[in-house]
Structure 1
Amino acid sequence: MLPKPDFPPPESLFLKKPKYHLLTIYNYIIAHPRTWLLLIVFSLQLLLLLLVRSLPVSTVSRHHFPSPTPVVTTATATATSCDSGKVFVYDLPPVFNKQLSEECDALNPWNSRCDALSNDGFGTPAPGLAGLVPENLDPAWYSTDQFTAEIIYHNRMLSHRCRTVDPDSATAFYVPFYAGLAVGKYLWSSNYTARDRDRLCGMLLEWLDQQESWKRSYGWDHFMMLGRITWDFRRSKDDDWGGSFLYMPGMKNVTRLLIERNPWDELDIGVPYPTGFHPRTESDIREWQDHVRNRSRTTLFCFAGGTRSEFKNDFRGILLDQCDREKDACRAVDCSGTKCSNGSSSRILELFLDSNFCLQPRGDSFTRRSIFDCMIAGSIPVFFWRRTAYLQYKWHLPEDPESYSVFIDRRAVSNGTSIRAVLEGLGEERVKRMKDKIVEYIPKFVYAAPKEGLAGMKDAFDVSLEGVLRRFQEQRRT
């Protein structure tokens, strides 16, 4: 209990003449500092209590995130039970997924997306790989589009051994909304408005708001795969790029898997871009690992990419210039004006298979699919921005960046540092260790063909789901 003050109540001070008002308050504070301090502390506590009580339950954050490093780090390990919990997959109205994929002719203003979305998101079989891949592995290669992860994850989730049809027994709830298709459809024409880009996203959250499992947690045990980079869903103003899905109130607790995450948002989880290799069995993986491990590589380093002429001092142009000056050590495929996003094309795959190192500057955003095309081919990535990989794919990449990659600051390269000199100075033993590490991790970079996954090995999907389930399990414990 506060002591009874031995001076008039504070409100009486404010009834004095204005001439003496401030001076009188000041004199009382000086004369009774402890009493004033107690009054201030009590007032702040009361104010804090009122603020907390006024918050709606749905806005209280319940997230406690464990370390992003998976408990099981070897890709060959596989669980036979669902110790981390089970997943309930929402059966959404078709307008949120199936209808979007069926209307594939209308998803792009330039051409049809139907081939890209075919074969459960793998695309059409990759042509022209004879001599580059072992003959019996040729059927495991597809012309996979980099933005089809929503379809791939949905199909895998439906057949997963830890799926449950009983929401009361679920640890996690998967929302199979094809947000990338829903937003991407409206990105490329000025005829569409911000409202067009957000329409289906808003409808989806309204639908979820009616589900009992959503009401119980306000989304904190829900997750989605969003098939584009995070920035495509982070529009802050109507005139800006993309949709505003991730800024909608209903998404504030939802975990989302993305091919590029916002490093400062713990709810964003970076997962590998889809690539062209979709192994059918564990033996497919083993054979491909042996193939890239024993490949004779004739080129020190390579670069596949186009210049960005609209940018001043375009860094990609600097890389192409260095490669051109070092023709006996570097090969380049200049993708200006051509489509190089499909790394399973014979030209790009051969480039990576023949090179010890592959240069990986930032793409249109900080990441690019080429990172994974390069590593699947057994080539060592060279990064120039730390955000390109090190702050992105913590569940899927080795913990130590130097164990599998080389970092050269872009400013040093712009100021004349020779990439060739840096790479030649690494030494054969270190290069071999990096290659071995990349080959070891190949299973975590690929999405397997069987909807049930691989019997004895975890692929990129398995690693992602395991990480989500562990995260939710940890949240429940705390």
Structure 2
Amino acid sequence: MHLGSKDLAARDALSRDVVDWLAQRPEWRAMGGRDHFLVSGRGTWDFIVSPDAVGWGNALMTFPAILNATPRGDGYTRKSTFDTILAGCIPVFFHPISAYLQYIWHLPRDHRSYSVFIPHGDVVERNASIEEVLSRIPPAKVAQMRERVIRLIPTVLYRHPAAKGVTFKDAFDVALERVIDRVAKRRRAAAEGREYVDSVDGKYSWKYDLAQDREKMLAPHEFDPYINT
């Protein structure tokens, strides 16, 4: 198995061959591998070596993921949502409040640019296959979305305050800038004798936050069934 090889490509070659072969088998495709299991003749640690580490073992169990399902946990948003983005994976959401309606400042308003949305009802009530939905996304689109996710990483983490040579804006910077900007606009409006409206009250506020337009706020939206029930 070349577990001790210094040639990283050779060390992981058989593992990749096994994964590629399994993925093409009709038995695997029947249930997306959910009814399969692997029996290892060696300790687990031999198969979770970092892909770029020189030493004993291979990276069978650490091959990178491209998309990652992030269903609701005890709240609408799970920690895995941010772990997914930090890992450079495309998050797959099943409820809009999990991300789209909560993190307007930190995530793009166009949720299709960085994530996949599969309605919860399609999976639970209509038995939609998550694997089939994801498999229909063109590879070029997947690559584009991953690039967008990678660019989002700084906005969902907190950098160490003692870090030097760091120029990106982290999650705290983004939030602080938006608060300062909002206060400044309110002060300018007050000085001019007018009221500054940066959102609206009531059950339609989420529409205004997404569209930033009062007219569009009243139009039907794909997320209406999740909010109005």
Q: Common fold, TM-score beyond 0.5?
A: yes
Q: Distance in 1 between matches of 2:176 and 2:148?
A: 23
Task: Identify the residue that residue 63 of structure 1 maps to in structure 2.
Answer: none
Task: Identify the residue that residue 92 of structure 2 maps to in structure 1.
Answer: 382
The alpha-carbon deviation at position 441 of structure 1 amounts to 1.2
The residue matched to 2:144 in structure 1 has which SS?
helix
Residues 313-358 of structure 1 deviation map (CA, whole Å, 9 limit, x = unaligned):
xxxxxxxxxxx93227999xxxxxxxxxxxxxx9xxx989721111
Contact 1:453/1:459, CA 8 A, preserved across alignment: no
Task: Identify the residue that residue 108 of structure 2 maps to in structure 1.
Answer: 398
1:325 lines up with 2:31 in the alignment:
yes
1:445 lines up with 2:151 in the alignment:
no
The residue matched to 1:355 in structure 2 has which SS?
coil
Task: Identify the residue that residue 408 of structure 1 maps to in structure 2.
Answer: 118
1:365 lines up with 2:82 in the alignment:
no
The equivalences for 1:421-440 within 5 A come to: 421-440=132-151
Structure 2: which 5+ runs fail to align?
A: 1-15, 21-29, 38-49, 51-59, 190-229
Q: Distance in 2 between matches of 1:369 and 1:434?
A: 20
Shift in CA distance, 326/458, structure 1 to aligned 2, threshold 3 Å? same
Structure 1: which 5+ runs fail to align?
A: 1-295, 300-323, 332-345
Residues 376-395 of structure 1 deviation map (CA, whole Å, 9 limit, x = unaligned):
10111110000000001111
Q: Aligned partner of 1:441: which letter?
A: L
CA RMSD in angstroms, aligned pairs only: 3.2
Q: Aligned partner of 2:131: which letter?
A: R
Task: Identify the residue that residue 8 of structure 2 maps to in structure 1.
Answer: none
The alpha-carbon deviation at position 450 of structure 1 amounts to 2.3
Shift in CA distance, 377/417, structure 1 to aligned 2, threshold 3 Å? same
Instruction: Considering Cα pairs closer than 8 Å and 6+ residues apart, tell me whether 1 or 2 has the greater RCO.
Output: 1
Task: Identify the residue that residue 201 of structure 2 maps to in structure 1.
Answer: none
Q: Distance in 1 between matches of 2:74 and 2:88?
A: 24
The equivalences for 1:53-72 within 5 A come to: none
The alpha-carbon deviation at position 453 of structure 1 amounts to 7.7
The residue matched to 2:133 in structure 1 has which SS?
helix
Task: Identify the residue that residue 419 of structure 1 maps to in structure 2.
Answer: 130
Instruction: Specify the structure having the higher radius of gyration (Cα).
Output: 1
Q: Distance in 2 between matches of 1:404 and 1:362?
A: 18
Q: Aligned partner of 1:400: which letter?
A: D
Shift in CA distance, 427/413, structure 1 to aligned 2, threshold 3 Å? same
TM-score w.r.t. structure 1 length?
0.27
Q: Aligned partner of 2:148: which letter?
A: K
How many residue pairs match? The answer is 142
The alpha-carbon deviation at position 399 of structure 1 amounts to 2.2
Q: Which portions of structure 1, spanning 4 or more consecutive aligned residues, are displaced by more than 3 angstroms?
A: 328-331, 350-353, 451-455
Q: Aligned partner of 1:358: which letter?
A: N
TM-score w.r.t. structure 2 length?
0.55
Q: Distance in 1 between matches of 2:110 and 2:93?
A: 14
Residues 163-192 of structure 1 deviation map (CA, whole Å, 9 limit, x = unaligned):
xxxxxxxxxxxxxxxxxxxxxxxxxxxxxx
The equivalences for 1:16-31 within 5 A come to: none
Contact 1:329/1:420, CA 8 A, preserved across alignment: no
The alpha-carbon deviation at position 461 of structure 1 amounts to 1.1
Shift in CA distance, 408/448, structure 1 to aligned 2, threshold 3 Å? same
The residue matched to 1:465 in structure 2 has which SS?
helix
Identity of aligned residues (%): 40
Q: Distance in 1 between matches of 2:121 and 2:159?
A: 39
The equivalences for 1:35-74 within 5 A come to: none
The residue matched to 2:149 in structure 1 has which SS?
helix
The residue matched to 1:382 in structure 2 has which SS?
strand
Q: Indicate the structure with greater helix content.
A: 2
